[in-house]
Structure 1
């Protein structure tokens, strides 16, 4: 796919199989890397993990917003300080709000109280922004409310992208690429619609056409 893709996402499945060497290979080939490991641990551990990811040269990484303010603060501090020390651009630190596989019922089961998904996303986004995160990961449904609440410069990374209106998988809160772009998404994350397609390159070009690339 080459430069047709801005960032290549490496999630926990690929990380477990291939580890940091895969990141190094992508970067050596001139590809940008989005390290989507959703760090969530005590602040000192996350600080070390983010520092290591920054040293690898990733351009964007994720932490779990529900890890709390201190944890996210440790992550943003580690990214900034490590980047300064090694003379490299700081990676974007984005906080995962509510997974796109979750709806209100599932969220209630997790938290123990009933709350609209959008309200939870916005609250977590404000918390992330207050401690220096560059943006959040949220479903396409929350793009406009997030931009309104946190401002246009706050980065919104959007998974849950599907090419058709009725998804046949576990994404519950989704939009098409065109809809997400029109709503103001800064990055769209697309996996299965490309790699499960009969012709992945054609699928990618269809997505690029939808978002005007």
Structure 2
């Protein structure tokens, strides 16, 4: 355990144990007094776990804190979390390394996976998340399909009708990005179920034929 994480957990446990301050007061104090990104991010994620209002943190100077705050299911009509998530996912590699010193205990896997999950929960169309999807594709591979490419395929083709109608511009751009990514076409079969559910071919050659077919162009 790193010194940063250890120090934070000791302080948290001590505050709770002696009941000198309520949990939310402790978290609020960390957010306002700590200059450590890991501590502040961990505190925000405690608020997320407790479904507390993190709206004030959506304008925090630290992009990592803003992104953590956007993970709370704030009212759907509030556009700010969506904008913060899109900003974070415009550079998913940087987002993944916001807290390199020690993984945040609330996350299972890379930061970008949690951000994408939250973004998909706050949106309904592929067009809304297309920029994020295209930014994520260079990092996608057969081993990450359950957390990036797969859910995005369901967003792109929610009715499983990829083989029944002309591709929209957004669908074509996303499918083209998958076709171009060598690491998405290895021998690991994780992707096959997702492709079948979307109504897409499960081999790369057929994928490319679909994209090259003029009759599949959007609007045709």
TM category, shorter: under 0.3
Of Structure 1 and Structure 2, the greater helix share is in 2
Between structure 1 and structure 2, the one with the greater Rg is 2
With structure 1 as the length reference, what TM-score do the two structures score?
0.28
